[in-house]
């Protein structure tokens, strides 16, 4: 074997199995650092920072099978060609005031709504949790926040802002709120686990409800999520502004998930985009929505080429929900919009949705006299709610839908859709009768 071939073979062992062929594979790491663990339970953050500084490049970083106290928000940046083995767990402080005070002064780069407790930045980084279920965990102790309804100064768990990265076998246990943000490029998330379910609450209890516990937010490019299992009280996967080329496959979303979501896009008239997204083979159990798209009233930008396919529904409130006219109804009437447009949508495909609906169209997140997700006429029988902005939705199609309302036959499922909002000719390719009433499947003809 030539030296060249040997090098190629060795190098390929360390290539991240992303969605695209990377042009550059790093050398195998040569350095090793083990993260020291304080046996008295005191803050290990300095130990973590120390290992990540000493081994920032061409390195393996190993956590021991132990509970590390990650009591201070940290930024782990400047990483290049690093394989992290999280054989232990990372625990946030089990004390609400301490977390609030520390996140309040953290200089970690914030996300849209919150500041992450852990911020990873760099290239060619693999973060690999233990294969054992008891390890590779991030403990947020969020259940105390949920029980008390504390929603101020909540941290987001983590941001993985990596070019060419892998996250595998990570477990998020009772996060305070939002989970992982993924703004990077060429990334793969595998076997992700989320437990954001209250141990003593139901989906229609506001008390102890895990508000804003989104599983994964993706704004990156070339991202694959393969195998996800979670219980939470907000989106399982949320694809937000900037995302392109995302595959999210083989997942389970339980408790009271808010769905496999795109958006919100176009807040305050902003130009925002999402393109080339596939959700395939998901089970939605107790979710408020199966598939969801949301853009703000008066928004700009576009979402193009999005597919939701092979979606099993168990007690889901609404199977397919799409609005281009979103506003926060809990704050009052719709804003006066002057832009006379909306975020354009095109080439959306929904196919093979099957299962049953919930008795309720909302959940414990409805905390105002008018629910945030109230829809006139919505009565938990809807498989499809399309709230389109006239003339800005092109080539939307809904294929096979076999969904029954709670304890009712399949024939009793309904839709809400206003034919006046359809682009001329769009009904011929829509796949169902756009009306307010019974769901009637129609053939999907050729467009144009
Ligand atoms: C994503 O992958 C495609 C090939 O699959 C490649 O052409 C493109 O440059 C990649 N985009 C980014 C942002 O890496
Ligand atoms: C680690 O911490 C978790 C959460 O507090 C606890 O349930 C678990 O028993 C701890 N494990 C060890 C080995 O101390
Ligand atoms: C957060 O920071 C602000 C501004 O520095 C300060 O006024 C406030 O008291 C802090 N809150 C907490 C809970 O630490
Ligand atoms: C993730 O995206 C969802 C949907 O836009 C949003 O509600 C949530 O606040 C976002 N989380 C973060 C940390 O940005
Ligand atoms: C991710 O890192 C890039 C620089 O590499 C930066 O411009 C961007 O703001 C970061 N995004 C987030 C959400 O942290
Ligand atoms: C769950 O338990 C906590 C702590 O005992 C309590 O404060 C909370 O009200 C309980 N939630 C429900 C829905 O009963
Ligand atoms: C669909 O996803 C589930 C996990 O939720 C997995 O067990 C199953 O093998 C997947 N099916 C296919 C056809 O990939
Ligand atoms: C739509 O997006 C998917 C996922 O990124 C991609 O595989 C497919 O090629 C795209 N289709 C078109 C017509 O761009
Ligand atoms: C749906 O929820 C009801 C309780 O509201 C429960 O009785 C039923 O077993 C659930 N259906 C499925 C298929 O899990
Ligand atoms: C919206 O416009 C109407 C009529 O022009 C006006 O009465 C109302 O106060 C405006 N609302 C807001 C929030 O500006
Ligand atoms: C629907 O929600 C209400 C509370 O809003 C709850 O009392 C009721 O049990 C739920 N119905 C079912 C069938 O789950
Ligand atoms: C579609 O719904 C309209 C009512 O909005 C009804 O008049 C028409 O017959 C329906 N078409 C089909 C094919 O069911």
Rounded to an integer, what distance in angstroms lies between the CA atom of residue 322 and that of residue 290? 11
Radius of gyration of the chain (CA): 23
Facing residues of 277 across strands? Answer: 246, 306
The residue length of the chain stands at 448
Token pair recorded at residue 351: 């196919």
Contact 304 CB / ligand 6 (< 6 Å):
no
Q: Hey, do 30-209 and 258-448 end up sharing a CATH topology, with the first three levels equal?
A: yes
**What pLDDT does 447 receive?**
54
pLDDT in tens, 21-78: 444 678 899 999 999 999 999 999 999 999 999 999 999 999 999 999 999 999 999 9
**What pLDDT does 24 receive?**
60
Q: What are phi and psi of 186, to 5 degrees?
A: 55, 70
CA dihedral for 40, 41, 45, 50, sign (positive or negative): positive
Q: Which of 200, 199, 206, 111 is nearest to 160 (CA)?
A: 111
Q: Which residue do the tokens 């101020």 mark? A: 152
Facing residues of 172 across strands? Answer: 138, 194
**What pLDDT does 339 receive?**
74
Q: Which of 5, 47, 64, 54 is nearest to 29 (CA)?
A: 54
204 alpha carbon, closest ligand: 11
Where does 17-155 show beta strands of DSSP type E?
Answer: 31-35, 57-63, 67-69, 74-86, 89-91, 116-129, 137-139
115 alpha carbon, closest ligand: 4
CA 207 – ligand 6 centroid, Å: 7
Residue pair 415/435 in contact by the 8 Å Cβ criterion: yes
**What pLDDT does 20 receive?**
44
Rounded to an integer, what distance in angstroms lies between the CA atom of residue 256 and that of residue 287? 5
**Pairing of β 156-168 and β 116-129:** parallel
- Closest ligand 11 atom number to CA of residue 406: 13
CA 149 – ligand 4 centroid, Å: 19
- Closest ligand 11 atom number to CA of residue 360: 1
Domain range 30-209, CATH architecture: 3 Solenoid (2.160)
362 alpha carbon, closest ligand: 11
Rounded to an integer, what distance in angstroms lies between the CA atom of residue 169 and that of residue 157? 16
Residue ranges lining ligand 12, Cβ < 6 Å: 433, 435, 440, 442
CATH topology for the 258-448 domain: Pectate Lyase C-like (2.160.20)
Q: How many Cα neighbours within 13 Å face the side chain of 291?
A: 28
CA 336 – ligand 10 centroid, Å: 6
Q: Which residue do the tokens 């030296």 mark? A: 3
Residue ranges in the chain whose pLDDT is less than 50 = 1-23, 448
The helix (H) or strand (E) run that includes residue 134 is: none
The helix (H) or strand (E) run that includes residue 97 is: helix 96-105
DSSP string, 351-408: EEEEEEE-S-S--TT--SSS-TT--TT--S-EEEEEEPPTT-EEEEEE--EEEE-TTS
**What pLDDT does 389 receive?**
96
- Closest ligand 5 atom number to CA of residue 110: 14
Residues 6 or more apart in contact with residue 414 via CB below 8 angstroms: 379, 381, 382, 383, 405, 436, 437, 438, 439
Cβ-based neighbour number of residue 184 at 10 Å: 24
**What pLDDT does 177 receive?**
98
CA dihedral for 52, 55, 56, 61, sign (positive or negative): negative
Where do the domains of the chain lie? 30-209, 258-448
pTM listed for this prediction: 0.93
Contact 214 CB / ligand 4 (< 6 Å):
yes
CA 3 – ligand 8 centroid, Å: 39
**What pLDDT does 25 receive?**
72
Residue ranges lining ligand 3, Cβ < 6 Å: 100-101, 104, 153
């Amino acid at each position: 074997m030539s030296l060249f071939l040997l090098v190629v073979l060795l190098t390929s062992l360390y290539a991240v199995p992303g969605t695209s062929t990377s042009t550059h594979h790093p050398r195998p790491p040569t350095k090793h650092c083990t993260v020291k663990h304080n046996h008295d339970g005191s803050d290990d953050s300095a130990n973590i920072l120390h290992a990540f500084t000493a081994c920032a490049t061409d390195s393996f970083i190993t956590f021991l099978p132990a509970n590390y106290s990650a009591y201070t928000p940290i930024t782990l940046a400047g990483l290049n060609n690093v394989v992290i083995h999280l054989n232990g767990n990372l625990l946030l402080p089990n004390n609400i005031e301490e977390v609030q005070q520390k996140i309040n002064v953290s200089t970690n780069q914030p996300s849209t709504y919150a500041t992450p407790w852990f911020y990873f930045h760099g290239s060619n980084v693999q973060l690999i949790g233990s294969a054992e279920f008891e390890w590779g965990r991030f403990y947020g102790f969020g259940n105390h926040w949920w029980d008390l309804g504390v929603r101020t100064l909540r941290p987001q768990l983590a941001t993985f802002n990596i070019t060419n990265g892998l996250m595998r076998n990570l477990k998020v246990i009772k996060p305070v709120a939002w989970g992982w943000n993924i703004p990077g490029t060429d990334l793969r998330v595998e076997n992700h686990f989320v437990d954001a379910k209250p141990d003593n609450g139901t989906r229609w209890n506001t008390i102890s409800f895990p508000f804003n516990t989104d599983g994964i937010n993706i704004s990156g490019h070339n991202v694959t999520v393969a195998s996800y299992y979670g219980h939470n009280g907000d989106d399982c996967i949320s694809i937000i502004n900037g995302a392109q080329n995302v595959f999210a496959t083989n997942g389970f979303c339980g408790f009271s998930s808010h769905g496999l979501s795109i958006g919100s896009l176009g807040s305050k008239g902003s130009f925002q985009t999402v393109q080339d997204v596939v959700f395939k083979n998901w089970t939605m159990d107790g979710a408020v929505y199966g598939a969801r798209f949301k853009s703000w009233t008066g928004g700009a930008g576009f979402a193009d080429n999005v597919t939701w396919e092979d979606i099993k529904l168990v007690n889901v409130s609404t199977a397919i929900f799409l609005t281009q006219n979103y506003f926060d109804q809990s704050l009052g009437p719709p804003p006066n919009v002057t832009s006379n447009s909306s975020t354009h949508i095109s080439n959306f495909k929904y196919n093979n949705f099957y299962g049953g609906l919930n008795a309720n169209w909302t959940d414990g997140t409805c905390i105002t006299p008018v629910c945030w997700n109230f829809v006139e006429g919505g009565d938990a029988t809807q498989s499809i709610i399309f709230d389109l902005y006239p003339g800005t939705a092109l080539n939307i199609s809904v294929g096979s839908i076999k969904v029954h309302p709670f304890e009712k036959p399949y024939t009793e499922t309904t839709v809400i859709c206003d034919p006046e909002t359809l682009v001329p000719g769009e009904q011929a390719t829509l796949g169902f009768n756009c009306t307010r009433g019974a769901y009637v499947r129609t053939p999907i003809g050729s467009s144009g």
